[in-house]
């Protein structure tokens, strides 16, 4: 006699209540771009619409912009504190960008990933290269391009949070930053925020379904085959 049909919800590896069903390792979604192309804008929208992803809040020695909140936008720290964090291994990656120090706190990322959550990073190409060395299998790398150079400058100016000198410095570094586009898995030309957001969500959805991330798959398939 055939074995009684087993409910999917009692199969090993199946996580009741989770939308993807199968238990899965969290992934690390990186957004990089020249300054002003729209990483912060897209990150905020994605975080508001997807409750399975957590933002990695970086530490920086840069001064807060008007409206930026310590602990939410960045952890704003002194150079001495940054160096202490870096030298004690508390940063997963770090880089000097536009003469300021930036880094990703290790513990928060590890905690989120081990809880099965995905983590979103707004970091530059130097940090992405470092994550690639330590966590290649978990990394999904997305590079944003502005539609035109004029658009990029307009965005930096209309953000109205940086001085003319800072805008000039960021525009002068944009070409170098863009030269790293070949190191990324996906490219989004961020002309329209809604369109870019839809594409980013599609990337995330597909990456979440990658077989190698589905830690519950082998058990699920075994249970399924045993029941057949
Ligand atoms: N698709 C878009 N169309 C028009 N304006 C945009 C678009 N995306 C972002 N912006 C605007 O461009 C400005 C810069 O965007 P944002 O701060 O998100 O860039 P960023 O890549 O995070 O910059 P940085 O690297 O300096 O942190 C903001 O004023 C934002 O509202
Ligand atoms: N390597 C890292 N780069 C980072 C990190 N946090 C932010 N950044 C990048 O710095 C520039 C400038 O950012 P801004 O907020 O001062 O405009 C931008 O390209 C960010 O992606 C980090 O932890 N590591």
Average pLDDT score over residue span 74-82: 98
Find which of 45-54, 111-120, 153-162 is predicted with most confidence, using mean pLDDT.
45-54
40 annotated ligand-binding residue: yes
Domain-located, residue 66? yes
What pLDDT score does 160 carry? Answer: 73
The CATH number for 113's domain is 3.40.50.300
pLDDT band at 29 (very low <50, low <70, confident <90, very high): very high
pLDDT band at 7 (very low <50, low <70, confident <90, very high): very low
Q: Which domain holds residue 32?
A: 28-219
Domain-located, residue 33? yes
pLDDT at 9 over 50: no
Point out which residues pair with 70 in neighbouring strands.
74
Considering the chain, what is the average pLDDT of its residues?
A: 91
Average pLDDT score over residue span 112-121: 92
36 annotated ligand-binding residue: yes
Ligand 2 site, residue 180, Cβ cutoff 6 A: no
Residues 6+ apart with CB under 8 A from 122: 31, 32, 39, 40, 43, 55, 56, 58
Domain-located, residue 9? no
What pLDDT score does 159 carry? Answer: 82
Task: Please name the residue whose Cα sits nearest to atom 8 of ligand 1.
Answer: 38
What is the Å distance from ligand 1's center to 177 Cα?
Answer: 16
- Candidates 46, 54, 19, 55; CA nearest to 200 is 46
Domain-located, residue 101? yes
What is the Å distance from ligand 2's center to 225 Cα?
Answer: 48
Task: Please name the residue whose Cα sits nearest to atom 15 of ligand 1.
Answer: 38
Give the three-class secondary structure for 54. strand
pLDDT at 4 over 70: no
What pLDDT score does 3 carry? Answer: 39
What pLDDT score does 162 carry? Answer: 77
Question: Which pLDDT tens digit goes with each residue over 126-178?
Answer: 999 999 999 989 999 999 999 999 999 999 998 877 789 989 999 999 999 99
Domain-located, residue 49? yes
Q: Is 86 exposed, middle or buried (0-12, 13-18, 19+ CB in 10 A)?
A: middle
Point out which residues pair with 74 in neighbouring strands.
70
- Please state, in angstroms and rounded to a whole number, the distance separating the CA atoms of residues 138 and 143: 17
Domain-located, residue 168? yes
Task: Please name the residue whose Cα sits nearest to atom 23 of ligand 1.
Answer: 36
Domains in the chain, number: 1
Ligand 1 site, residue 161, Cβ cutoff 6 A: no
Q: Please give the number of the atom of ligand 1 that sits closest to the Cα of 193.
A: 1
Average pLDDT score over residue span 49-53: 96
Point out which residues pair with 75 in neighbouring strands.
59
What pLDDT score does 116 carry? Answer: 85
38 annotated ligand-binding residue: yes
Domain-located, residue 6? no
Average pLDDT score over residue span 116-128: 96
Ligand 1 site, residue 174, Cβ cutoff 6 A: no
pLDDT at 5 over 60: no
Q: Tokens standing for 111?
A: 């905690």
Q: Which of 155, 170, 178, 189 to mutate to test the pocket of ligand 1 (most atoms within 8 A of CB)?
A: 155
pLDDT at 72 over 70: yes
What pLDDT score does 21 carry? Answer: 74
- Please state, in angstroms and rounded to a whole number, the distance separating the CA atoms of residues 101 and 27: 25
Domain-located, residue 182? yes
With pLDDT > 90 as the criterion, what percentage of the chain qualifies? 80
Average pLDDT score over residue span 172-196: 97
What pLDDT score does 8 carry? Answer: 43
What pLDDT score does 11 carry? Answer: 54
């Amino acid at each position: 006699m055939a074995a009684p049909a087993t409910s999917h919800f009692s199969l090993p590896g199946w996580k009741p209540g989770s939308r993807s069903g199968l238990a899965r390792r969290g992934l690390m979604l990186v957004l990089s771009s020249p300054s002003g192309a729209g990483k912060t804008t897209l990150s905020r929208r994605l975080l508001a619409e997807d409750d399975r992803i957590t933002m990695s809040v970086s530490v920086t020695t840069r001064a807060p912009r008007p409206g930026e909140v310590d602990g939410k936008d960045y952890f704003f720290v002194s150079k001495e504190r940054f160096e202490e964090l870096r030298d004690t291994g508390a940063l997963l990656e770090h880089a000097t960008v536009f003469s300021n120090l930036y880094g990703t706190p290790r513990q928060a990322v590890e905690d989120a990933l081990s809880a099965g959550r995905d983590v979103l990073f707004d970091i530059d190409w130097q940090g992405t290269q470092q994550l690639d060395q330590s966590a290649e299998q978990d990394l999904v790398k997305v590079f944003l391009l502005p539609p035109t150079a004029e658009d990029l400058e307009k965005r930096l100016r209309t953000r109205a949070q940086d001085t003319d000198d800072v805008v000039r410095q960021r525009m002068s570094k944009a070409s170098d930053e863009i030269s790293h586009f070949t190191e990324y898995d996906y490219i989004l030309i961020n002309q329209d925020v809604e369109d870019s957001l839809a594409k980013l969500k599609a990337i995330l959805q597909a990456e979440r379904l990658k077989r190698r991330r589905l830690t519950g798959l082998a058990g699920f398939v075994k249970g399924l085959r045993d029941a057949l």
